[in-house]
Structures are given as C-alpha cells and as structure tokens.
Structure 1
Amino acid sequence: MHDTDLPAEAIADPRTFTDNRALHGLLARLRRTDPLPYIQAEDYAPFWLVTRHADIMAIERNAKRFINEPRQVLLPLSYEAMARQAAGGKDTKDFMRNLILMDGEEHLAYRAITQSYFTPKGLEATLRDIETLAGEFISQMAKSDGECDFAQIAMPFPLRVIMSMLGVPQEDEPMMMRLTQQTLSSQDPEFQAEGGGARTAMMEMYAYFQKIIADRRSKPNGDLSSVIANARINGEHLSDRDVFGYFNIIATAGHDTTSYSLTGGLLALLDHSEEMAKLRADPSLLPLAVEEILRWTTPVKHFCRTAVENSEVAGKKVKAGDHLLLSYPSASFDETVYEDPFTFRIDRQPNRHLAFGTGPHVCLGQYLARFELVSFFRELIARVEHIELADTPRIVEGSFVGGVKYLPVRYRMR
C-alpha cells in the first residue's frame, strides 16, 4: 500500500472512503508518522484522529475516561444546525437516544434488555431460518440469466433476517432498506432523502415503529419487538425516545453492516482468485475467511469518544472535553498487529480485527452477523460454479458506515 498526498483532514471527507487505496495510503502514513493528528476540518468540530489498533483498544476499554456521549459520529456543523432548525430547535436526542449514546450503568442496563436474545442459545431458532434464507437468496441468482448486481442479492438477505426478528412484514422491507440508507449512508448523494435528509428518514422510521411498539404492548408475542417494547428499567417502561432508539439501532445496524461485509467480501474473493480457490477446495475455512472479510471490509468506519479528564494518548496531551475519532479501518490494517496487512488471506490467524469494536460497547449482534456471513458464503461457493466481475464496482460515499454498494457480476450456477 503506497502513501498518498492526502492531508489528514481528508478523513472528514466522505469522498475519501470511495477510494480504498487512497484511504489506506493516508492511514498507513499517519500510523507511521503522526498516529494521533488533531484535525480541524472545515465545517467540523475539531477532533483527534486515533489510527493505531492499540490506542483504539485502550480507549474503548477505558469507558469511564472516554465516554460515548455527546458525540456519536462525525457530522458537519451545518448538518447539525439544519437538523435542529428542521425540528424547531430540538436536538435529535429529544426524540431518539440509542445504546451507542449511553454510558456506564445506564448502558449496561439497557444492553441487558436484549443481550440474551443475541446469544447462540437465544438465536437458536433464528439460525435455522438463516440457513434456509441463504439458500433462497442464492436461488435468486439462478433466475437472473447469469448476470446481476450482487448487491441486489446480498443486501436484502440480512435485512430479511433482522426484519423477521422484529416482526416487520416482508412487503415493508424495501421501505426499511431505503430508510436505513438515508440515515446511515446519508452522505452518499444516491441515498440522500428529499426535503430534510437523514432526519426526515428518521422521523418516518419513528412513525413506523411507534405502531409496532403500540401493537406489541397490547399484544406481546415473544418476538424481539415485544421484548423491547415491554422492557422495564426500575419498574418503568422505556421512554418513547429510548424505545425508538433501540428499534432504530437494531433495524439499521442489524443489517446494513453485514450487507457491506457480503458485497465487500465477494469483491475481495474475486480480486484474490487464489483465495477463492482455497475456499472452494476447503469450505471448513469459512469461519476464518469470514474474520478476514470482516477485517478487510470493516463496514463501520468510525465512532467517536469524548475525554472526561486530561489524558495522554499516543504520547500527546488530550484535554477533558476533547473529541476522539476511532478509525476502525486503520486499526484493521495496523502493521504492528497484522503480518502483511494488505494481503487478503482467508486462513489468517490470529485475526484480532475491530470490525465489531471492543470493550463494553462491543457489537451486540456480532454472533448473528458471523452466522449470516458463513451461511451465505457457504451457499454461494456450493452453488455458484464460476463468478467474475462484469463491470466496475461502486463504493458508498460516506465516512460512517459503508462499503461496496454496486457489484455487477457474471456467473454460472452448478
């Protein structure tokens, strides 16, 4: 991976993330020469960019010193101002607050509401359905006459999984896909909502889930929606903003990130045909291959933390109140952690990637995501005899969540 002449401030530009070579060239240079630059990009509140795996691990695991509230992700100041204006001066947190914005005991209490649901035991029945669903989605390729946009096959698969867990009717899934893209990938012109951007999409999602919440409170049926809608903390139901925040984070992050691992994972296998051949020859490598795909794609590009006291990070003085941006793609290619990090190797061991984060905020759905990826790729290599790129892929323009959004392929089924 070669250095680029991109300035450190380019990390705030969503267009930087459409060119993996340029992005990783910038991050590799920073890890080597200035692993904690202070970024003052136009239209953004200043922040420290954390590039090294060890520093990100230390910050995530020290949740008392580095908290999640108030800055969850990198947003332009102009966007935040417009969002408040559109909401009559109200902050997003006035109508939605999710797990990611919580800290300490409150975070633990809210996380415990669904934690057992996302364990292997809690997901037992769901996992059987996932294997069946993977077969159904790969079967769609057989109907496309040997050529398709693989993103149109891969992206609805994890969406179907999480929506069925929430009890969302299948006919509403395209709407949920649109709303997810308009919120998590709102920087991409292709996904932007009309007349208000991500906030408009979020309000539409809020109105939709309010009906499900009311239904499950009157007629609980044991599904994930019922668990969240009827959860109590200190004997009280969750407030509207907190219960919606719970639905929002599961409904969006519960599929969008896995989707980009699927599309980016296939692109990696197509770009490294020897690794695809290795996987076809020995499908037992799939669990290891999925870990390498997660490292290689790292769909969540960053989260932010705020220092609550003066600290030292990477040899620099960070003041109380300073914001830090944790760059997960940088951690995933850190040369001090991974041997030959810019080589895609499906049998890489160990593979201590941070695609799911670490510490108290480690991804709640990581077991589910891994199972979805293994099931889908197992079905793909078993039933697709040959597959190759048919045109140039396109990548999401966005600094928060993203990956390959368009993957035209040509293939032959067995």
Structure 2
Amino acid sequence: MGTPTMNQESQDAAKALADPTAYADDDRLHSALAHLRANDPVALVDQWPYRPFWAITKHADIMAIERANDLFLSEPRPLLVTADADDLAKAQLEAGIGLRTLIHMDDPHHRDIRKIGADWFRPKAMRDLKIRVDELAKRYVDRMRDIGPECDFVTEIAVNFPLYVILSLLGLPEDDFGRMHMLTQEMFGGDDDEYKRGTTPEEQLAVLTDFFNYFAALTASRRANPTEDLASAIANGLIDGAPMSDMDTLSYYVIVASAGHDTTKDAISGGLHALITNPAELARLQGDLDLMPTAVEEMIRWSTPVKEFMRTAAEDTVVRGVPIAKGESVYLAYVSGNRDEEVFEDPFRFDVGRDPNKHLSFGYGVHFCLGAALARMEINSLFTELLPRLESIELAGRPELSATTFVGGLKHLPIRYSLR
C-alpha cells in the first residue's frame, strides 16, 4: 500500500477502527472518526492482526464506492477480520465448506441469489405480516410490564422480539429459538469476552459448523416436505433452473437467521437508550406518535448496528485524491457516515423528527439490506405499543456495548420503569 502521510494523531485515530474494544466505547470511537473525517477521510490503517486497509469515513465517499459495485467488490474481503481468520475462511471457501452469504457476493451471482428471498420482504409481504408483528410487539410489552419494575431491556425484550419474528418467518420451531440466539451471539460476538466461544479462528468458526449442521437438516426436511415459509423458499430456490449449491443454501439461512434479528435488536435497544437519555425527545414522541416513522429512522442512524463492510478495488483508482491500487481494500465506516457534519445537521443530536435522514445503516446500492422494511416495521410496532403505555423510565445501571468490528450494539441496558 501507499506510504501514509498522516500525523501521529491521525494514525492513532485510524488504529481505533482495528480495535474491537473501541466499538464498546462510543466516546473513543466517535472522537476517532470525527478526527478522520476532518483531517484524513481516506486513512491508511495498518494494525496487526488485521491486514492493511483504507478507512473511508465520509458519507459521500461511502455512497460513491457502494454505487461503483463493479469497481469495488465484496469478494474476497467483505468484512474486517484478522489475517488468520481471513486465511481460514478463504481455505474453507476453496474447499466448498465456508460461509458465502449475500454480503460476500458480487453481481451477477449476488443478484440471482438475492432474488430467492426477495418476495418475502416486499411491501405486500410486509403488509401481510404486520398484524402478526403488532401482536408480538404487544406480547413483549406485556412481558416487560409483567417482569417490571426493572429489567435488562436487551436480554429480556430487545433480543427476543425480533428473534421471534424472523425465526417464525423462517418456520423454525420455537424450541430452537434459544439455540439460534446463542449461535448468533457467538458468531457476531467473536471479539467480545462475554459472547465469544474461543480465542482462535478455528474455535470461533466452529460456530459456523453448528449453524451449518442445523440448517443442513432443515434443508433436507423442507426439500422432502415443503411448507409455506421462508425456509422452504430457500431450500427449494433455483438458479438458472438448478438448485443452489449447499454452501449458498446454508449461508442464506445463516444470514437471515442471524442478521435478520440481531441488527434489529441493536436498533431497538439503542433507540430506547437514546430516548431515555434525551427525555425531551421521548416526551415529544409520546405526544405525537405521527413522528414514529422519522423516529425509527433516527434510532437506526443513531445505533448503526452494522459498523462496516469492506470492498476490494478491482482496478487502480482514486478516492478523494488518494490512490487506491488494484487489490487494496477499503473499509466503509457506516458509523462515521451517519455522523457526517456535511450531511446531517447537528449530527450528535438525537432528533425524532429528523428529516431528511440519509443514513447509511442499511447500506446503499445493490447491497442495500434485504430486510430493511421488516426491521423498520418491527421497530415501529414495538415503540408504537410501548410509548403510550410508558409512565416513567430511567437507567437502573450502566449500559454496556459489545466489542466488535462488524455487527453490534448494546448488550445490556438495565432500566427501571412503570407501564400501564
């Protein structure tokens, strides 16, 4: 890679992006990102145990790279993981046993695979699902009332509501929901001491083996006896008239079953935390529930559950005057883009009426999140049920963020409250 010309302050700020613990410290992370946006918006990060990459911290540059999906590719490095984990994942893919989800793919294969589940997330499907989502929102707000006056909102409410929605959509038995939750925590929490299964890439990738074993049995069942659920659509999906490969089929299940609820959990818990710490905005929203659509978008911007994706340059190119050579990787800092002062007025103010709100939390371009409409509906339903019944709420302890470089948010949110 090119020789960095950054001063020591910028180098230190850039290194924070390659430190999972920085994502568990909002002040540290946002301070580093604000410095990079102002001084080195295309910053070289060379921090072992990760391979070097260019951190892209401006909203406009992130969008431009996402649009240029023929120049900046997801393969072979879609996420920031250690060099050892990169090598192991590459070896597994070459052996035909690795994880290759939509976020790992490029067009045209990405486009063909995406179509398999797309109908399940279109507006008509969402309208049909809304009654069930509203029922579940009421169930979990009732549960919150019943277990009060204190609870850990993340572990007792925010996790379970979207988990139940997405796994019901897949058609999985409720007895298996706990297992899916544990595997999701272990997969996304590989850098977090509370969640990770082990310390080596091999131990952490064993989580994937457990996922695959479960979904291999599910695939066989749904191919033998198809049912009216998303699992059957995936199991029997065709590409050019032929079944998907085992790797693509199993990977499809993994991304839907894990990211399909964990990111929503992060937005829900982050949104409630923002309302608690901004009581004027909580009162404003309670007084005018017509603001809920903009409030939902602000919660999603504020929490930014997906911290980054990586792209690799297919040819020599330039980003904001900085040469990026063919084969070099860029890190799209969505957390930074969502606080870009050139795009968001007073970006560190939580504003339930913010409009426009061009956040990047769902990505942009061909990789825009397949489940974005479902996530928005779930967040809207839960807070539409909760806020009219909420008489009081405050923190009952210290919130804790997960250590991660990919998907994450609050892992504990102790609250004290009164509900009707």
TM bucket (normalised to shorter chain) is over 0.9
Displacement of 1:6: 4.3
3-state SS of the aligned residue for 1:337?
coil
Render the CA deviation track for 1:41-80: whole Å, top value 9, x for unaligned: 1111110000000000000011000010000111112334
Match of 1:193 in 2: 197
Structure 1 unaligned spans of 5+: none
Match of 1:120 among 93, 99, 123: 123
Q: Write the mapping of 1:46-125 to structure 2, written as runs, cut at 5 A.
A: 46-80=52-86, 90-91=92-93, 94-95=96-97, 96-125=99-128
Q: Is the 8 A contact 2:13 2:35 kept in 1?
A: no
- Alpha carbons of structure 1 residues 124 and 187: separation in structure 2 relative to 1, 3 Å: same
Q: Write the mapping of 1:167-316 to structure 2, written as runs, cut at 5 A.
A: 167-194=171-198, 196-316=202-322
Identity %: 42
Distance in 2 between residues matched to 1:395 and 1:100, nearest whole Å? 24
Q: Is the 8 A contact 1:393 1:406 kept in 2?
A: yes
3-state SS of the aligned residue for 2:284?
helix
Q: Is the 8 A contact 2:10 2:36 kept in 1?
A: no
Match of 1:34 among 31, 35, 40: 40
3-state SS of the aligned residue for 2:393?
strand
Q: Is the 8 A contact 2:56 2:333 kept in 1?
A: yes
Distance in 1 between residues matched to 2:268 and 2:14, nearest whole Å? 29
Render the CA deviation track for 1:115-162: whole Å, top value 9, x for unaligned: 121011023332210000000011111221301000121111100000
Distance in 2 between residues matched to 1:375 and 1:334, nearest whole Å? 29
Q: Is the 8 A contact 2:190 2:196 kept in 1?
A: yes
Q: Is the 8 A contact 2:22 2:28 kept in 1?
A: yes
Structure 2 unaligned spans of 5+: 1-8
Q: Is the 8 A contact 1:50 1:324 kept in 2?
A: yes
Match of 2:408 in 1: 402
Instruction: Select between 120-129 and 325-334 the one with higher mean Cα deviation.
Output: 120-129
Aligned partner letter, 1:229 = A
Distance in 2 between residues matched to 1:144 and 1:100, nearest whole Å? 38
Q: Is the 8 A contact 1:5 1:26 kept in 2?
A: no
Report the RMSD for the aligned CA atoms in angstroms: 1.6
- Alpha carbons of structure 1 residues 4 and 34: separation in structure 2 relative to 1, 3 Å: closer
Render the CA deviation track for 1:241-277: whole Å, top value 9, x for unaligned: 0000111111111000000001110000001000000
- Alpha carbons of structure 1 residues 334 and 256: separation in structure 2 relative to 1, 3 Å: same
Distance in 1 between residues matched to 2:329 and 2:400, nearest whole Å? 31
Q: Is the 8 A contact 2:10 2:40 kept in 1?
A: no
- Alpha carbons of structure 1 residues 387 and 5: separation in structure 2 relative to 1, 3 Å: farther
Distance in 2 between residues matched to 1:202 and 1:299, nearest whole Å? 21
Q: Is the 8 A contact 1:17 1:23 kept in 2?
A: yes
Q: Is the 8 A contact 2:62 2:337 kept in 1?
A: yes
Distance in 2 between residues matched to 1:242 and 1:197, nearest whole Å? 22
TM-score, normalization: structure 2? 0.94
Displacement of 1:284: 0.9
TM-score, normalization: structure 1? 0.96
Match of 1:149 in 2: 152
Aligned partner letter, 1:250 = V
Aligned partner letter, 1:186 = G
Distance in 1 between residues matched to 2:177 and 2:238, nearest whole Å? 28
Distance in 2 between residues matched to 1:346 and 1:21, nearest whole Å? 22
Distance in 1 between residues matched to 2:356 and 2:374, nearest whole Å? 21
Render the CA deviation track for 1:322-372: whole Å, top value 9, x for unaligned: 100000000000000011101111101100000001100000000000000
Aligned partner letter, 2:391 = E
Aligned partner letter, 2:96 = D
Any runs of at least 4 consecutive aligned residues in structure 1 with deviations exceeding 6 A, and if so which? none
Displacement of 1:102: 1.2
- Alpha carbons of structure 1 residues 312 and 179: separation in structure 2 relative to 1, 3 Å: same
